Amino acid sequence: DRLDSLAAELRDADSVVALTGAGISVPSGIPPFRGDGGIWGDQFDPAAFHISRFERDPAGFWTDRLELHDAMRPSGIEPNIAHDALATLEREGVLDAVVTQNTDGLHAEAGTQRLVELHGSAERVVCRRCGEQETAGPVRERVRDGETPPHCDCGGVWKPDVVLFGEQLGRETLADARELAEESDAFLAIGSSLQVEPAASLPRTAARDGTLAVVNLDKTGSDGVADYVFRADVTELLPRLLERVVD
Ligand code: OAD
């Protein structure tokens, strides 16, 4: 069937790359951005998380950011079997890299080594003045205790180390992701609506001279150029794919 045929292509490919989106973390209990129960629906206003809001009103930004964090990252969140399957495919020498739009840190927790975090990581903060990076947890606790906005030792304001609306993606990070997409023989687009650029263009780039497989519950922006479209739950499909690639 189609899954066997994709598994055979992955085994034969020199380079296999995965791009993931919010859908891979939904089964872990993290809400998606769009669609039913989406963060950018009636829950939160994207304008509150724009870089211009951070610059104008860092205290208000951090108060809202804490609320967003609590909605997106309830306690006890862990990687699921789809994150695990990608980590295993890498260990088995099949998968070269994971490019993710997620900022939740779950791929790293699952053990993925070569990870390109296109939108940064919410588990880190970066100082706007000196560029120092720190683990986000303790800084969030200081905000919870009333330090809004939280400050670095140098006096600069901490910013979540994520790409906010209105900000450019990191140049090197994006170049890395583009090169991986261009050089891949097989590219897996997993759990993303593929509506947000520039991430959404990566599967199209990969499909130009490689195999593209889409795994997503709903339609995506790249279904039309994909060689395989699996309208499936990531936690159901990825373990089955793994089983067929590695025996
Ligand atoms: P979206 O919320 O746009 O898309 C998530 C997709 O996952 C949807 O199409 C769902 O159908 C699908 N999905 C949900 N649960 C699934 C499951 N169990 N199995 C398979 N598919 C499932 O999220 P992204 O495409 O990741 O940007 O959004 C891209 C970017 O938009 C995010 O990185 C964020 C946001 O604004 C920044 O923060 C910069």
How much of the chain exceeds pLDDT 70, in percent? 100
pLDDT score of 42 more than 80: no
Amino acid at 241: L
Name every protein residue with a CB atom under 6 angstroms from any ligand 1 atom. 21-23, 26-27, 32-35, 38, 101, 119, 163, 191-193, 195-196, 216-218, 233-234
Residue minimizing CA distance to atom 18 of ligand 1: 233
pLDDT tens per residue, range 95-120: 999 999 999 999 999 999 999 999 99
Q: What is the pLDDT of residue 56?
A: 98
pLDDT tens per residue, range 78-97: 999 999 999 999 999 999 99
User: Which of 20, 24, 34, 159 should be mutated for ligand 1, with most atoms under 8 A from CB?
Assistant: 34
For 135, residues 6+ apart whose C-beta sits below 8 A from its C-beta are 123, 124, 125
d(CA 234, CA 239): 8
Q: Which residue has the tokens 């994006």?
A: 174
